């Protein structure tokens, strides 16, 4: 009795599996898939009603908070700026200046504009899957639970095995077909045969996920050229291949997948490359151009976003595909999250496939958009933006301009330093007193000049930035000394305190450079004081320069480019003259090794003075004076030197200072 019941159940089970197999594989033509989807929709509506009923009981209507608070300022990734408002009558740093940064940070914790694109989105109702159950953390009703259990059983024990079966057979089909087609001679027949067979095979395999895709506007179906689409999951290319044949571009994987890829390239002209091989990557552009110039070949499928996005928005397109110069066919893909989420958000391939196979179905809409070409005045970046907005609009997704790489990698460290730079600019403008205003335009603040932001964000070129900065620094230094034409002892503005009073805390009225400059002019050139000032001046200007070049130092060695920058700064004629003076003086006296008494930034000079290889600017100075000036300047900034310069410094401690002084003279000149 029990045995017969058991065998009966087994047979029922197997029949259901086979039935589903037939539906899945061939059901598209028969319209059975659509009926399945509709049935599911009704089920979901039922469950949603239940949930809503219980929710109403649970949440009392809260008082409507009319939030009169403005949006907190978000930190932009392309245009760093100072957050906050500068008042006209008070500038410079205040305690309350950090408030905007704090608020911006906390609002980023609550909701930020990057992660929202990459987090799987919950479907609006509950679709009887536990994985979408994050909000329904309360037991709702027994009936719903029963429904869920039935659904669980169906998904895991009926659908899953049959889908696996379909997958295996489908892959075998694909394998065999590709071999067969690959054996045909190249020509138009091969392409036709390949087209029909590949569409059929992919459709079969797609049945393993119960894929139900609706293709709109088939008149715009791409015939050649490049097809771009938004990217949500690894199966995007498969979805598109169920309706039209494409040639893929991608990197060769290893293992079975790689084998499949090579197999596929026998039957059609796919473009595979090795990602690690740089030469091949530049080769890809050439191959793309060749491929698109032949109108007989099938269109190439490219996903310019680069990463998988969660289908609520479209992130920045990379310009590579748009530079080829041929016709672009945009395609918009939009998934329906109620049935199953295909978004790839974790690296576990096995669980991804498992989740997809135990969802109800994968339902999506595909729109073919009319072909576009690049306008005569358009750059490829603008063209990419244009295409992106058409895709986003058609698919009903947000058009977001963040960089897709932020999903994988943290943002560049420069951005933080640029925000720091902006804040520094705000701090460094001196506190203007209420009454007196300086008539000259050269209000003495040390102007870290506006870096061109777009060059930074596009090219990530530190060198560009720091070059400009150094030029400006040097210009500024020239300006205030040479052009101001002040008599010794005359002050620039009322706020410049003469040296003896500067110990009282009234700092940052005029910058120290100006003070130094005036000192230099006013003091005699013979005494040691003048030298000290000069040295201090050189050091502080190098420090500023070093400070703003710090990023560059992170990435490059102290080399010729860097020397040139320092030279720019020091090329203030008067300063050079004084510097020579100093050198002469020093060469007469005994010069000892400095050996690390300068901190950080001034080590640039130190290291340079000690060996040729580091090639920095060198000023060998005697120990006593170092200590004096050292107490004045204590910079905690860390200059990341490579360890080899450190080693060399320790090695070569010959007190051959005279040679070195001459050497630095040569460097300077």
Partner 1 sequence: RTSTTRTYRGEMLTYYYNSRYRAKPLCYHCVESKFRVRLCVKCYFLILYNMGNKSSVMLDEQDIKALQADTGFSGSQIERLYSRFTSLDKGGSGSLSREDFLRIPELAINPLGDRIVHAFFKEGTDDRVNFKDFVTVLAHFRPIKRSQENKLNGRDEKLRFAFKMYDLDDDDAISRDELLAVLHMMVGENISEDQLNSIAERTILEADKDNDQMISFREFCTALDRTDVEQKMSIKFLK
C-alpha 440/C-alpha 44 separation (Å) is 74
Q: For residues 2 and 95, which CB has a smaller minimum distance to partner 1 in the complex?
A: 95
Please state, as a whole number, how many other Cβ atoms lie within 10 Å of the Cβ of residue 52.
11
DSSP element (H, E) containing 668? helix 657-668
- Closer by beta carbon to partner 1, 268 or else 313: 313
Nearer of residues 103 and 237 to partner 1, judged by Cβ = 103
**Closest Cα to residue 246, out of 178, 199, 306, 280?**
199
Beta strand 313-314 with 398-399 is parallel
Residue 137 CB-density burial (10 A; 0-12 exposed, 13-18 middle, 19+ buried):
exposed
The span from the CA of 606 to the CA of 600, in Å, is 10
* CA–CA dist 552, 401 (Å, integer): 27
Query: Cβ closer to partner 1: 26 or 351?
Result: 351
SS in 3 state form for 512-571?
HHHHHHHHHHHCCCCCHHHHHHHHHHHHHHHHHHHHHCHHHHHHCCCCHHHHHHHHHHHC
The rounded Cα 654 to chain-centroid distance in angstroms is 47
- How far apart (Å, rounded) are the C-alpha atoms in residues 236 and 224? 19
Which one, 95 or 257, has the nearer CB to partner 1? Answer: 95
d(CA 267, CA 175): 11
Other beta carbons within 10 Å of 160: 15
Q: How far does the chain reach from its first CA to its final CA, in angstroms? A: 106
Closest contact distance (angstroms) between CB of 636 and partner 1 is 6
- Measured CA to CA, the distance from residue 239 to residue 332 in angstroms comes to 12
Minimum distance, C-beta of residue 533 to partner 1, in the bound complex (Å) = 14
What's the min distance (Å) between Cβ of 449 and partner 1?
A: 12
Residues 575 and 480: their CA atoms lie apart, in Å, by: 12
Closer residue to partner 1 in complex, CB, 122/220 = 122
- Cβ-based neighbours of 65, under 8 Å, separated by 6 or more: none
Considering the complex, what minimum distance in angstroms separates the CB of residue 654 from partner 1? 31
Q: Are 339 and 236 in contact (CB under 8 A)?
A: no
Of 137 and 350, the one with the shorter C-beta distance to partner 1 is 137
- Supply the minimum distance, in Å, between the C-beta of residue 62 and partner 1: 4
Smallest separation (angstroms) from partner 1 to the CB of 512:
7
Residues in CB range of 405: below 8 A, 6 or more apart: 306, 307
Strand partners, 367: 216, 332
For residue 164, the minimal CB distance to partner 1 (Å) is 19
Q: Of 592, 596, 572, whose CA–CA distance to 668 is shortest?
A: 572
**Least CB distance to partner 1 at residue 79 (A):** 12
Q: How far is the CB of 626 from partner 1 (least distance, A)?
A: 16
Nearest distance, CB of residue 668 and partner 1, angstroms: 23
Three-class SS state of 226: strand
User: Closer to partner 1 at the Cβ: 41 or 415?
Assistant: 415
> Smaller CB distance to partner 1: residue 94 or 593?
94
The smaller minimum CB distance to partner 1, of residues 113 and 251, is found at 113
- Which of 444, 597, 431 minimizes the C-alpha distance to 516? 444
Q: Give 544 or 583: the residue with its C-beta nearer to partner 1.
A: 544
User: Would you say 469 or 657 has its CB closer to partner 1?
Assistant: 469
Neighbours of 213 (CB within 10 A): 20
Minimum CB separation from partner 1 for residue 412, in Å? 8
Tell the smallest beta-carbon distance from residue 320 to partner 1 (Å).
23
């Amino acid at each position: 009795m029990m045995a017969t019941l058991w065998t009966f159940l087994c047979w029922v089970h197997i029949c259901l599996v086979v039935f589903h197999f037939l539906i899945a594989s061939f059901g598209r033509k028969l319209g059975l898939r659509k009926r399945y989807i509709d049935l599911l929709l009704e089920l979901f509506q039922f469950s949603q009603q239940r949930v809503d009923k219980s929710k109403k009981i649970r949440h009392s209507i809260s008082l409507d908070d009319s939030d009169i608070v403005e949006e907190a300022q978000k930190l932009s990734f392309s245009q760093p700026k100072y957050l906050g408002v500068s008042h006209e009558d008070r500038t410079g740093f205040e305690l309350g200046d950090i408030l905007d940064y704090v608020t911006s940070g906390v609002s980023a914790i609550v909701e930020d504009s990057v992660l929202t694109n990459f987090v799987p989105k919950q479907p609006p109702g509950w679709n009887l899957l536990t994985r979408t159950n994050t909000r329904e953390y309360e037991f709702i009703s027994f009936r719903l639970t029963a429904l869920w259990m039935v659904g669980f059983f169906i998904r895991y024990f009926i659908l899953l095995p049959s889908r696996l079966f379909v997958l295996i057979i489908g892959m075998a089909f694909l394998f065999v077909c590709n071999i067969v087609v690959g054996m045909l001679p190249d020509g138009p027949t091969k392409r036709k045969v390949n087209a029909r067979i590949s569409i059929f095979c992919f459709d079969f395999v797609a049945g393993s996920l119960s894929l139900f895709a609706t293709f709109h506007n088939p008149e715009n179906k791409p015939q050649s050229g490049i097809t771009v689409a938004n990217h949500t999951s690894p199966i995007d290319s498969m979805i598109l291949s169920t309706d039209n044949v494409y040639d893929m571009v991608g990197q060769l994987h290893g293992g079975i997948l790689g084998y499949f890829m090579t197999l596929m390239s026998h039957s059609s002209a796919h473009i595979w490359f090795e990602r690690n091989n740089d030469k091949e990557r530049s080769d890809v552009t050439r191959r793309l151009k060749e491929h698109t110039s032949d109108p007989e070949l099938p269109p190439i499928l490219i996903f310019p976003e680069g990463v998988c996005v969660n289908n609520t928005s479209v992130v920045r397109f990379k310009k590579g595909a748009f530079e080829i110069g041929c016709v672009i066919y945009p395609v918009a893909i939009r998934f329906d999250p109620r049935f199953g989420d295909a978004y790839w958000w974790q690296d576990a391939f096995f669980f991804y496939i498992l989740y997809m196979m135990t969802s109800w179905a994968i339902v999506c809409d595909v729109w073919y958009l009319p072909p576009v070409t690049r306008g005569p005045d358009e750059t490829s970046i603008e063209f990419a933006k244009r295409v992106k907005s058409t895709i986003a609009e058609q698919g009903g997704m947000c058009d977001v301009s963040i960089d897709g790489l932020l999903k994988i990698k943290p943002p560049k460290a420069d951005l933080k330093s640029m925000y720091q730079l902006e804040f520094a600019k705000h701090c460094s403008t001196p506190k203007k007193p209420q009454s007196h205003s300086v008539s000259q335009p050269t209000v003495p603040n040390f102007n870290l000049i506006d870096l061109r932001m777009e060059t930074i964000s596009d090219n990530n070129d530190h060198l560009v930035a720091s070059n400009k900065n150094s030029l400006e620094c040097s210009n500024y230094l020239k300006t205030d000394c040479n052009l101001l034409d002040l008599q010794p002892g005359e002050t620039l503005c009322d706020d410049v305190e003469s040296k003896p009073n500067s110990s009282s805390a009234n700092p940052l009225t005029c910058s120290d450079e100006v003070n130094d400059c005036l000192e230099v002019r006013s003091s005699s050139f013979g005494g040691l004081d003048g030298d000290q000032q000069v040295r201090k001046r050189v050091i502080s200007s190098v420090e500023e320069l070093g400070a703003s070049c710090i990023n560059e130092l992170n990435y490059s060695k102290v080399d010729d480019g860097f020397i040139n920058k320092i030279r720019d700064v020091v090329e203030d004629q008067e300063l050079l003259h004084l510097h020579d003076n100093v050198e002469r003086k020093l060469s007469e006296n005994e010069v000892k090794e400095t050996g690390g008494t300068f901190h950080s930034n001034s080590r640039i000079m130190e290291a340079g003075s000690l060996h040729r290889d580091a090639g920095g600017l060198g000023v060998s100075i005697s120990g006593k004076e170092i200590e004096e000036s050292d107490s004045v300047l204590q910079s905690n900034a860390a200059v990341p030197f490579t360890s080899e310069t450190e080693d060399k410094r320790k090695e070569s401690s010959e007190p051959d200072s005279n040679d070195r002084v001459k050497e630095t003279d040569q460097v300077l000149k």
